[in-house]
Structure 1
Amino acid sequence: MTQQDITTPDASRDGSAWDPDVEVMIDRMRSLDVKPSWQRGVEAVRESLESIVRPPGPEMAEVVDAAADGPHGPIPVRIYRPVQAPATGAPALVWYHGGGMIMGSLNSFDRLARDVAAATGAVIVNVDYRLAPEHRYPAGNDDAFAALEWTHRNADDLGVDLHRIGVGGDSAGGGLAASTALRSRNTDGPAIAQQVMFYPGVARRADTPSMREFGDSVFLTAEDIDWMKNMYLGDDPSRDDEYGTPAIAESLAGLPPAIIAIGANDPLRDSVEAYGDRLRQSGVQVAQLRYPGVGHGFAMQTASVARARLAMAEVGALVAARFANPVG
C-alpha cells in the first residue's frame, strides 16, 4: 500500500453499500420524494427540520436555558448536565449544532445534545448561534467564539473545570468548532482541551472520490453544499479566510487534540479526512473514525440506526478518556 492510498482514501475501498437501518430511512425519503435542500429553499428546510419528531433523548440531571454575552447581543445557550457529571469541576464541551449555517436550533438539536452529554459525561453548552442568510459570515463564527469565552468566564458558576473545556459540533457546527480552535490559538484566547467533530464542514465542495460517489445522497448533495456555503460565506471563494473555511488555514500546528467521526458514504468524507491528516502531520493528536454504511448526519440518527448509537458511544468514550487523561 502506498502513502497515497493511506492519505487519500478511495471510496471503492469501502464500497457504497448502506447500513440496513439507513436503507430504511433512504427508502422512506425516496417514497416521499424529498427534494434536495437547495430546491426546497431556506424556510422550507428550516420548517422541515424543526418539525421532525424524535424520541426523547437521555435524561439529564439538569437542563438550563441561559444567555451568553455576544458581540451583537445575548446568545441563547442550553446547558445539559448529565447524571454522571459532578456538581462542580465537571468537564464541558461548548457545542455547535449542524444545519449548514442556515438552519437548526436548540430545540431541533436537543436530542443530539443529550446524546453527546450522556456519552461523554461532560456538561454540554449548546449554542444557538445566528444563521444565514439573515446573518452572514462572520456572525455565526463570532457567536461561537463568544460562547467559548463566556463559558470560561463563568466556569465556576456552571460547575465546570476551567482546564477541561472543549469545543465540538456536527456538520456546520463541527466547522465552527474547528474555526473556534484556530481563532483561540491565533488570538491567545481561552484554552481548549479538545475538539470533537462529527463530519465537520471545514471546506467548500471539492472534486473528490467521495463527492463524486455520494454527491447525490438523499442526506446531502453537492448542490446543497454549494448553496449553503454561498449563503453564509458568499459565492467568491477567493474571499474566504481560515475561520470561515478552516481547511485553507496555512498552519494547523498548536491546535488542541481532535476527534473526528465521518461516515464512509458521506460526500464530505475525503475533505474531512484530509483535514484530519493535516492535523496529524502538524503534530496534533488526532483520532479519526470512519463508520461504514452511514452518510452525512448520522449522529442525529441514534434513535433508529444502531451504528449511529455505536458511533456515539465510541466517540463519547474517547472524549471522556481525553478529559480524564489530559496531556500537556
Structure 2
Amino acid sequence: MGKKYEESLLYALKNRQKMEEYQGVPLLVKNLPDSDEKGAMDPRLYEDSKKNLKIMAWMPSFLMKMDTSEKGIANLRKMFNGVKSVPCVEEKITIENRLVKAEDEYQIPVRIYKKSSGEVDTKAVFYYIHGGGFFGGSPDVVEEAVKMFVAKTGLVAVSVDYRLAPENPYPTGHKDCYRVLQWIGENKELFGEGAYRIFVSGDSAGGNLAQYCTTRDMEDGKHLIKGQLLLYPTLNMAQVQDEYYKPELEQYEMAPKQKRGLKKMLGMFAGMSGGLESVLGTKDVKNNYLNPYTKNPEGTPPTFLTVGEHDFLKMETLGYGVKLHKAGVEIKMVLYKGFGHAYIDNIGVYPQSEDCIDEMANFVREHCEKTLRTGENSLFSFGLK
C-alpha cells in the first residue's frame, strides 16, 4: 500500500514553511500545504475527523472526562493501540526481536531495526519510546515511523515495549525504558560506536519517558545521549503555571466553522495529562521525572521539540522549549499548523507525518556531525544520507 497523498503536498509543505519567533525563541512553522485559512485544520485531517468533531461539539462536558476505571482504561487502550499508519516504506527493513533483563528480572521486549541493503550506519543509535498515556500504545503503533526514519538515515533504531500502568505502577515503565538505554550503551558489539552516541525520542507520554532517560543519563554521568527528540511530550503533569505556560484556550487560533468542536476536543484532552495519578499509582507527579517542566534544564543535550497547532500539549511543549533556550540548551522547535496530537502515528496518511520524520532525521544528522567535528570519537566518519 502506498501513501495516501501526492508527493507534491510534501514539497508544498516544505516550501511554505516559515521561521518565526515564540517568546524570543526561533520557531519553524509548517503552514498547511494547500490552504491559507487561519486556524483551520488540515483539510485531510478534517475530512477524517469531522464526524467525531460534530459529535463532540454537542456532547455534554461531563461525558468527556477521562474514565480511569478498569473498563475505561480497556476502552482507551483499544483506541490508543490501533495502528493508523499505512505501509509505505519501500526499502526493506529487518526487525530483530530481543529481550533485555530489567532490574526485577523481567524480560523487556525490544525491536532492533536495520536497513537490509547496503552498509548499516552504526555511528549513532535512534532509540524510540512509544506514547499512549503510560497505559496504552505499543511499538506496533509507531513501527512505520521508525522504519521510515531508518530508511531515510541508514541508522540502527531500537524500539521498546515497556510495561504499562496501571498493572505496573510508576516507576516501572520509566525504569524499563532507562534499562534499555543502558543496555544499548553496554553493547558495542551490536551497535558499534552508536552505543555511545544515542538519540532518544518519544511521543506524548513517550516524550516524558525519553526525557526521563536523558535526566537519568545525566545524573549517572554516562552522557550516552547526544540529543533528544520529544514529540508533543507530556512534560507538565502537575499543570504548574508560570510565565511560559498558561493553559488558556485564547492561545489557540481556531477557524470559526471548526471552533466549537476543537474547543471541546482541547477541553477533553487537557485534563488527561493532569489526571494520570490514579493510572500511574502515585500522587507525586511534581517530581523531576514525571514533571520535567519544573526541573532545572541546564546541561540538557540538544533537544528537538514538535507539536501541533491544536494540540492540548502545545503550550507546555513550547513553554519548555523557551525554558531550555534560556538555560543555554540548543533546541529546535517545529509547529505544525492545522494539526493536533499524535501525527507521528499517521505515517503514509498525512504529509506532515513524513515531514516530521524528515525534520527528525535532519536534527540527528546535524548533531551527530557536530559531535564528530568537535573531536568526540573523531576517528569515525559520518555517512547519513
TM-score, scaled to structure 2: 0.74
With over 3 angstroms needed to count, the CA separation of the structure-2 counterparts of 1:165 and 1:219, relative to structure 1, is farther
Are 1:227 and 2:279 counterparts? Answer: no
Q: Which residue of 2 aligns with 1:104?
A: 137
Instruction: Tell me which of 300, 318, 322 is aligned to 2:367.
Output: 322
- The C-alpha deviation readout for 1:262-320, integer Å capped at 9, x for no partner, is 11111111111111111111121111111111111111123221222222222222222
User: What is the CA-CA distance between 1:159 and the residue it aligns to?
Assistant: 4.3
- Aligned-partner residue type, residue 248 of structure 2: P
Are 1:289 and 2:334 counterparts? Answer: yes
Please give the alpha-carbon distance, in whole angstroms, between the structure 1 residues aligned to 2:263 and 2:281. Answer: 21
Please give the alpha-carbon distance, in whole angstroms, between the structure 2 residues aligned to 1:170 and 1:220. Answer: 19
With 152-161 and 101-110 compared, the bigger mean Cα shift is at 152-161
Q: Which residue of 1 aligns with 2:350?
A: 305
Are 1:153 and 2:190 counterparts? Answer: no
Kept in 2, the 8 Å contact 1:49–1:104? The answer is yes
Kept in 1, the 8 Å contact 2:125–2:156? The answer is yes
Please give the alpha-carbon distance, in whole angstroms, between the structure 2 residues aligned to 1:31 and 1:215. Answer: 11
- The C-alpha deviation readout for 1:12-55, integer Å capped at 9, x for no partner, is xx953211121112114347879858247111121233344542
User: What is the CA-CA distance between 1:235 and the residue it aligns to?
Assistant: 4.2
With over 3 angstroms needed to count, the CA separation of the structure-2 counterparts of 1:290 and 1:100, relative to structure 1, is same
Q: Which runs of 5+ in 2 are unaligned?
A: 1-20, 28-36, 253-261, 375-385
Q: Which residue of 2 aligns with 1:208?
A: 247
Q: Which residue of 2 aligns with 1:244?
A: 290
- Aligned-partner residue type, residue 19 of structure 1: D
Instruction: Tell me which of 66, 70, 74 is aligned to 1:38.
Output: 66
- The C-alpha deviation readout for 1:99-125, integer Å capped at 9, x for no partner, is 010101122332232233334432111
With over 3 angstroms needed to count, the CA separation of the structure-2 counterparts of 1:179 and 1:301, relative to structure 1, is same
- Aligned-partner residue type, residue 68 of structure 1: V
Q: C-alpha root-mean-square deviation of aligned residues, in Å?
A: 3.0
Please give the alpha-carbon distance, in whole angstroms, between the structure 1 residues aligned to 2:267 and 2:182. Answer: 33
Q: Which residue of 2 aligns with 1:48?
A: 79
- Aligned-partner residue type, residue 267 of structure 1: F
Q: How does 1:136-285 map to 2 (within 5 A)?
A: 136-159=169-192, 161-204=194-237, 205=239, 207-209=246-248, 213=252, 216-217=264-265, 221-228=269-276, 230-232=278-280, 234-235=282-283, 237=285, 240-249=286-295, 251-285=296-330
Kept in 1, the 8 Å contact 2:141–2:345? The answer is no
TM-score, scaled to structure 1: 0.85
User: What is the CA-CA distance between 1:221 and the residue it aligns to?
Assistant: 1.1
**Equivalent position SS for 2:159:** strand
Please give the alpha-carbon distance, in whole angstroms, between the structure 2 residues aligned to 1:63 and 1:325. Answer: 29
With over 3 angstroms needed to count, the CA separation of the structure-2 counterparts of 1:129 and 1:266, relative to structure 1, is same
Larger relative contact order, structure 1 or 2 (CA cutoff 8 Å, min sep 6)? 2
- Higher-Rg structure is 2
Q: Which residue of 2 aligns with 1:126?
A: 159
Please give the alpha-carbon distance, in whole angstroms, between the structure 2 residues aligned to 1:322 and 1:291. Answer: 22
Identity of aligned residues (%): 24
